[in-house]
A and B are shown apart, each in its own frame.
Chain A
Amino acid sequence: MTQRIPIVEKILSANDRLAIENRARFDAAGVFTLNVMASPGAGKTSLIEKTVSALKGSLRIGMINGDIATSLDADRAAAAGAAAVQINTGGDCHLDAVMLQAALPQLDLARLDLIIVENVGNLVCPAEFQLGTHKSVLVASIPEGDDKPYKYPGMYRGVDAVVINKIDLLPYVPFRREFFKNGIEVLNPGVTQFELSCRTGEGLPAWLAWLVAQVSSTRQNSVSGHLAS
């Protein structure tokens, strides 16, 4: 006797449940967390270095780096002034909520204001795995080409902000800004965008202001949460 059992359960639901646990820990500690995703070489670590250097005087910053094999990026973030933790994914193309959870004991969450997670350089998979961070940002860069939203729509769909890095290269590389932006607008209407160069520093202040505002609103929520409970 065979029987059909209707299920309709999201295949990554176990990961999503762990992501919710991670978020609860961040909220309890009052720390704002950011998932930074991009293709290899777009400038994730460069953006993190610039951000840490600019904000370390006013914020306590942690960095978690997901890398297939090395700790080069975590070392760069540590040199810039962050408490940095390395996760070697051993060939996995993305971080997931389990890996992030396993790394958390290495950071003193309650003594941090901001944790930046650098995901594995990959424009396909990371978007499907929630980590539990408060916000996620996609770093695009001019030399990657203007067709990336069209080729990797999944990555542009869910993010809270898009950073367009390496604008110093605009004079040297063909890049149809409007074509690129139209793709983003369809996939993620009204998403916050920053055009900047980690090399020259142009455009960085707007990005930093956005990030600082996110951190303080998380802290306020956490304080009012503690008062209410």
Chain B
Amino acid sequence: MHELAVTESILEIALRHASQQNARRITDLFIVMGAWSSTVDDSVQFYWEMISEGTLAQGAQLHFRRIPTRLECKSCGHSYQPDGRQLQCPNCQSLQVKVKTGEEFYLEAIEVETEPGDAKTNLQKSSQSL
């Protein structure tokens, strides 16, 4: 099982980005996992409670977005989800196939609470740019 290493990595990335934004607290993390990535989200959730304790991310909610595998035939253009018994194109039997989705494994975004003061400066900045 390598979910502990994965969870530590998620925490490290989130804390780094949160401190760049002077966040007070991380409330939510959005993780994207393709069906062909081997990580188990229940185990990540389990380790998360342990290792986020005492950090800015303590108590933050993990959101997993699972992306199904999609293949696209280079010969006939057919797009399909492999069923485990067949990988080649079910329409024309071609082996020339592109993997469109299913291999993702990244942290997409986090949601943080910032100091009220910071929020105001952000608002001022955005109203200036309007």
Contact = CB atoms under 8 A, between A and B. Distances in A.
Interface of A: 1-15, 92-94, 96, 124-125, 128-129, 149-151, 153-154, 157, 182-183, 185-187, 189
Counting contact residues on chain B (CB < 8 A from A), the size range is 35 or more
Given A125-B2, A128-B38, A154-B38, A7 B87 contact: no
A1 B118 CA distance: 9
12 contacts: A3-B23, A3-B113, A5-B23, A11-B10, A11-B105, A11-B106, A12-B9, A15-B5, A125-B2, A128-B105, A150-B84, A187-B99
Contact of B114 (A1, A8, A124, A149): A1
Contacts of A7: 13-14, 17, 106-110
B125 interface: no
A159 to B, nearest CB: 14
A8 B111 CA distance: 13
A92 B116 contact: no
B45 to A, nearest CB: 15
B108 A1 contact: no
A12 B109 contact: no
Chain A interface main SS type: mixed
Contacts of A10: 105-106
A2 B112 contact: yes
Given A3-B122, A153-B36, A187-B87, A94 B108 contact: no
Contact of A5 (B71, B88, B111): B111
Nearest to B119: A1
Interface string B29-53: 0010000111000000000000000
Given A10-B106, A125-B38, A182-B95, A3 B21 contact: yes
B88 A182 contact: yes
Interface string B82-117: 101111100000011101000101111111111010
A175 to B, nearest CB: 16
Nearest to A156: B87
A198 B81 CA distance: 37
Interface string B57-71: 000000000000101
B56 interface: no
B87 A5 contact: no
B79 interface: no
B107 A9 contact: yes
Given A1-B118, A189-B95, 15 more contacts: A3-B111, A5-B18, A5-B111, A8-B106, A8-B109, A10-B106, A11-B106, A14-B9, A15-B9, A92-B5, A96-B2, A128-B2, A150-B82, A186-B95, A189-B96
Contact of A93 (B2, B84, B86, B119): B2
Contacts of B5: 15, 92, 96
Contacts of B106: 7-11
A154 B37 contact: yes
